[in-house]
Structure formats: C-alpha cells, structure tokens
C-alpha cells in the first residue's frame, strides 16, 4: 500500500469526506483559539507596554503557561466539561496567550521613544499615542506573536485527537489503532502543510507591516559635475 493512497483517495475528500471534516475541524479549533487569545492578550499587552506596569506579571504568566502539559490539560478539560469544542478551544486559547501577550507588550514598550516623546510634545493623549504611534510601530512584533501562537495551536490541536476531540490528530490515532500507516501519513502531512501555510501567510503579513512601519530610506545619488 502506498503512503499516499489514503491522502489521494477522492472518497476522503469532498463535502462528506473524512479528511475534509477533520481539516475544517482543525482549522476551526486553531482560528477560534487564536482569536480568543488575541482578544484577551492584545489589550492587556497594550496596557502593560504603554504604562510599563505588570511586566513581571507578563513574564510569569508566559512562563507558567508554557510549562502546562498540553495533553494533560486537554484530557482534564474533556473529562470535566465533555468532548464538545468549547473545552478544547479554551485550552488551546490558554496556550496561545503567552506569545501574543509578550509580543504585544514588548512591541508597545519598545516603540521608538523619540516618536513617542514627539507625540507627547504635540499634546496627544495617551490613547492617541497608542493608536497613532505605538501600535503601528509595534504591529510587526504583534504579528510575530500571533504567528508563534498560531503555529503552536496548529501543532497542539493535533493532541486533541488523543482526548477524543477530533481534528487531524484523529487520523493519527485511528491509523495507529488499525495499523493504517497511509492514514497516519496523511494526518502528518496535512498538519505540516497547515503549519507551513499559516507560517508563510503570517510571515508575509508581518513583512508588509514591517515595510510600512520602517520603509527603506531612499537616498538620491547626486551627479558629479563632469570635468570640462
């Protein structure tokens, strides 16, 4: 049996195909978890970065969240709250928080101090400084935090299969149980392809944000007078 047989089988694709169903479920887990984490982490990161207060809290939360065992937390959430998508998305959102929170706080805090001082000298309020100066300058780092968080969630959502939560990890679990290596291969390839897609998309978005925020200085080359 070819390793590609399960992946290339048309019956596994289409509206009722198992691959389509699990892929969409994996995408739903990823997007929902990252959005929830962003809604919480970005405002907190802006406040911390702008005021300079709570930096130690950010570091503590980030380190604590990264130390949480993903599989154990997922299994605990499923046992306590059931196999619905809510507990799984909640756990994934918790795991996505540190990267987004850190990226936002560091980006705001490290915004060009001269630009911030100039904005204050012009009489801008704190909200105006954040919206017109600090946020645009911090955007590349914010996107970088979102990028790291998204890749982590894509990988961790695979573990949801172990907790009977579906997603592409289900292909790995079912394939291992039935010794269907083609199915396991399909699951691994799809998870990797999804991670590469998000990495490239968010990396490109971050590149555009960086170019817009820090455009290359254009230097004009003056013509030297020709000797007569």
Per residue in 93-143, pLDDT (tens digit) is 988 998 999 999 989 988 888 888 888 888 888 888 888 888 988 999 999
70 within a domain of the structure (yes/no): yes
224 within a domain of the structure (yes/no): no
Q: What is the pTM of this model?
A: 0.85
**CATH number, domain with residue 106:** 1.10.3720.10
206 within a domain of the structure (yes/no): yes
Q: 160: number of CA atoms within 13 Å, CB side?
A: 32
Which sign, positive or negative, has the C-alpha torsion 197, 198, 203, 205? positive
User: In the predicted model, what is the mean pLDDT of residues 209-222?
Assistant: 59
Scanning the chain, the segments in alpha helix (DSSP H) are: 5-8, 18-51, 55-66, 70-81, 85-109, 113-121, 126-129, 135-157, 169-178, 181-213
Rg over alpha carbons for the chain, rounded to the nearest Å, is 23
Per residue in 29-69, pLDDT (tens digit) is 999 999 999 999 999 999 988 887 777 777 776 766 666 66
222 within a domain of the structure (yes/no): no
9 within a domain of the structure (yes/no): no
What is the total count of domains within the chain?
Answer: 1
223 within a domain of the structure (yes/no): no
Higher-pLDDT residue of 172, 201: 201
Identify the band that residue 71 occupies on the pLDDT scale cut at 50, 70 and 90.
low
6 within a domain of the structure (yes/no): no
171 within a domain of the structure (yes/no): yes
Spatial neighbors of 73 by CB under 8 A, at least 6 apart, are 91, 94, 95
The residue range of the domain holding 168 is 15-213
């Amino acid at each position: 049996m070819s390793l590609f047989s399960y992946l290339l089988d048309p019956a596994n694709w289409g509206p009722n195909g198992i691959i389509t169903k699990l892929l969409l479920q994996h995408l739903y887990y990823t997007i929902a978890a990252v959005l929830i984490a962003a809604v919480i982490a970005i405002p907190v990161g802006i406040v911390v970065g702008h005021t300079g207060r709570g930096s130690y809290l950010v570091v503590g939360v980030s380190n604590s969240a990264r130390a949480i065992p993903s599989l154990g937390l997922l299994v605990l959430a499923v046992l306590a709250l059931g196999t619905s998508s809510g507990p799984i998305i909640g756990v994934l959102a918790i795991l996505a928080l540190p990267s987004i929170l850190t990226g936002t706080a560091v980006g705001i805090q490290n915004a060009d101090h001269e630009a911030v001082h100039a904005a204050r000298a012009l009489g801008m309020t704190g909200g105006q400084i954040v919206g017109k100066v600090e946020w645009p300058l911090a955007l590349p780092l914010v996107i970088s935090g979102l990028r790291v968080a998204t890749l982590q969630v894509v990988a961790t959502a695979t573990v949801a299969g172990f907790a009977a939560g579906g997603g592409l990890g289900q292909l790995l679990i079912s394939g291992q149980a039935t010794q269907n290596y083609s199915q396991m291969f399909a699951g691994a390839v799809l998870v990797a392809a999804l991670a590469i897609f998000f990495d490239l998309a968010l990396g490109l978005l971050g590149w555009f944000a960086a170019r817009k925020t820090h455009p290359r200085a254009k230097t004009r080359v003056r013509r030297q007078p020709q000797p007569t």
